[in-house]
Each structure stands twice: as C-alpha cells, then as structure tokens.
Amino acid sequence: MAEPMVDPLVVAPNLKRRLSGVTATVVRLIPVQARMIAIRATGPGLPPEVPHIPLIRAATLPRDRWRVWHARRNTEMALGLILRRILRRKYRLLFTSAAQRRHTGFTKWLIRRQDALVATSDKAASYLDRPATVVMHGVDTDIFRPASDRAALRRDLGLDPDAVLIGCFGRVRAQKGVDLLVEAGLRLLPDRPQARILFTGRITPDNRAFADDLLARIAAAGLSDRIRFLGELPWDQVVRHYQALDLFAAPARWEGFGLTPLEAMACAVPTVAARVGAYETLIRDGVTGSLVPPDDADALTDALRRWLDDDAGRADAGRAALAHVTANHAIETEARALVALYHDLLARP
C-alpha cells in the first residue's frame, strides 16, 4: 500500500520478493520502528501492514534534508550508493550485517562506503573491517505468544491434540540441518508413538533431490504420517504452527543470526539448537532448551530425547524460554537501538 504523503526520514529497502530471514526482519521491525520515527520500507512483495513507499519515490525524495538508507543486503548497499552518488539523493548509508564469515572483496568494497555499520552479534562484528554497533534481533511478543488454547489450535490446524510436536521452520536445505533432524526422528520416533516432526518452508528446485531423498528415507521407515513437510506457509500460519509446538529444533550447520529459536521461545516452546549463529547467546543451555555441536546427529538425538521424555521439564523450559525472551529479546529493544543510531546519523554535519 503506497503512502504518497509520507516524507520518511529513514528508508529500509527490501529487494527480495520471496520470504527470507532478512525480509522477515523488515516485515516485523518496520511497523514497530514506525511508532518511533518516520520510517518506510521499499521494495517488492511487502505485506500491506508494513509501512512502505514505492521504490521510485524512495529514489526521488526531495534533497531538502538528510535521510537514512538502511540496507541489509549487497544489492541494497549498491543501490544506496547509486542513489547518493549518481542521483544525488541525500542518504546516509547504514548496513546491517549478520554474516559470520569472511566477506567477499565486493562486499568489503561496499562496506567501506557505508556511513555506519550494525552487526547482529559480536561474532558478526568480528568479521567486519570497521567498527560496528552490535544490535541483536528481537521478536515481537505481541505476535509471537503462547496459544490460549493449544488443543483447539491444533484441531483447527489438523494436528493431533495429544501429540508431542517438534517443529523446524525455514527453507529445506542442508545448511539448515534438516537431514540431521530427519535422522534423529528416524531413531527416536519408532519408540515414541506420540512424537511428530513438522517442517515448514520452501523447497527450491536446487534442493528438490535433497528433499526427495529424505522423503524416501522417511517412507521406508513407515513414518510418512509422523514426519511431515508442510511446504511454504502464509506468515500468519507459520505463527500459529509455532504456537502449536511442544519443542523446536534448529540444527543448522551455519547461520547468520537465526530468528527461529526466539520466535519459538516467545511462544513458550523450548529449543534444541546447534552452536552456530547467535544461538549460544539466545538459548540458556539446560534452562530454555539445549545447545549441541553443529553437524552432530548423535548429540542432536540425545538432546531431543531428553526433552521428549520429560513432559514436566519441557513445560518448565517453555515457561523459562518465554520469560527469557520477554526480558531480554523483545523487538522494542532492537527498534529503539536502531532508531538511536538513525538519529545520530541524521544529526551529523
């Protein structure tokens, strides 16, 4: 929904139509920030509840004041440079980096031309050649919250109200450790008839063979009705599936930041995750879930077994997870830290 009368101080581009972690950040964060500063997203495929302006308008805003261009991808950094250097728009350039790996030469070149940098974790900051402000992601606890009646919600979603549900949400690929969770399920589910595993997320053509191999293994074990791939769901349905879970798994082999454990924990769901991305900061091992070494099916199986076989402990961990996220990782904290940085950039001479 275009807003032709809005004159934003901050523009947050989103130059990817399909749902991704970066897009999810923009969709969740901008409405919260819009209550604090005149900010608009721009780009394709944004849902109507996100305050945004057409890209052509973002490229032709008046030059009467400085504004902030807050990029989160290389393409968005490059476009910001074009807007400022070629179209002579008065944009201060800000880039948020979640990557926990060495950057390519082109990315380094773009980063050197930014006015300020944000990193989503200390580890991500360590891979930048310049100082960065660390601002961890938060989660909107008004959206991600426990279900008032989980049994009724499960019936509405076509899920067994009495099952013990493990979820793993995100694109289906090896990087996310989907095969590790399938392996753990093949070991654990035969002796636990109430246990189920749900995957949500898109299967891209380049990962079709990977997914088909997993489906064949599941079928050979006779578990096709208990380890299910639901595909890419609308955003509101993803939230409802979080609320239906008993346990969440995030067995990624590597991760930039990784929001899914926060989203699960905000729904009072304990999480078993690999020690990658920001997971070690987000999860209190043994209290709100478990941390395991990456790419270790045995450790993942053992951790899942612990929580599957301890109903009371799992419930306690869910309550602790909710309290932990509410106290330390609310999205308002992230929004305020970024808005303070915007004001600093806007005030520079």
Confidence (pLDDT) at 2: 45
- Nearest by Cα to 246 from 326, 325, 179, 147: 147
What digits encode the pLDDT tens for the residues 117-143?
999 988 889 999 899 999 999 999 999
Sheet with 247-250, edge to edge strand ranges: 227-229, 195-200, 164-169, 247-250, 271-274, 289-292
At 277-287, the pLDDT tens digits run 889 889 999 99
Give the pLDDT confidence of 92-106 residue by residue, as tens digits.
999 999 888 888 899
Residue 220 scores a pLDDT above 50: yes
Q: Is the pLDDT of residue 170 over 50?
A: yes
What is the spatial distance between Cα 305 and Cα 299, in angstroms, rounded to a whole number? 10
Percentage of the chain modeled with pLDDT above 90:
84
Q: What is the mean pLDDT of residues 71-78?
A: 96
Q: Within 13 Å and on the Cβ side, how many CA atoms surround 294?
A: 14
Average pLDDT over residues 242-264: 93
pLDDT of residue 5: 58
Any idea which architecture 150-328 has in CATH?
3-Layer(aba) Sandwich (3.40)
Mean pLDDT calculated for residue range 306-325? 97
Structure confidence at residue 262 (pLDDT): 94
pLDDT tens by residue, 318-342? 999 999 999 999 999 999 999 999 9
The angle, 0 to 180 degrees and rounded to 10, between the axes of the packed helices 331-347 and 21-33 is: 80
Residue 296, pLDDT score: 98
Q: What is the pTM (predicted TM-score) of this model?
A: 0.82
| pLDDT cut 70: percent of the chain above it | 98
For the chain, the average pLDDT equals: 94
pLDDT bucket at 223, cuts 50 / 70 / 90 = very high
Distances (CA, A) of 252 to 56, 249, 264, 305, 325: 38, 9, 15, 18, 21
- H or E stretch including 12? strand 10-13
Q: Which residue has the higher pLDDT, 289 or 99?
A: 289
Lowest mean pLDDT among 38-52, 177-191, 207-221: 38-52
Q: Is the pLDDT of residue 256 over 50?
A: yes
Domain covering 10-138+330-347, topology: Rossmann fold (3.40.50)
127 neighbors 101 (Cβ within 8 angstroms): yes
Domains 10-138+330-347 and 150-328 share a fold: yes
Residue 1 has a pLDDT of 43
Is residue 292 a contact partner of residue 315, using CB atoms and an 8 Å limit? no
Q: Say yes or no to pLDDT of 3 above 60.
A: no
Res 19 pLDDT > 70:
no
Q: Where are the domains of the chain?
A: 10-138+330-347, 150-328
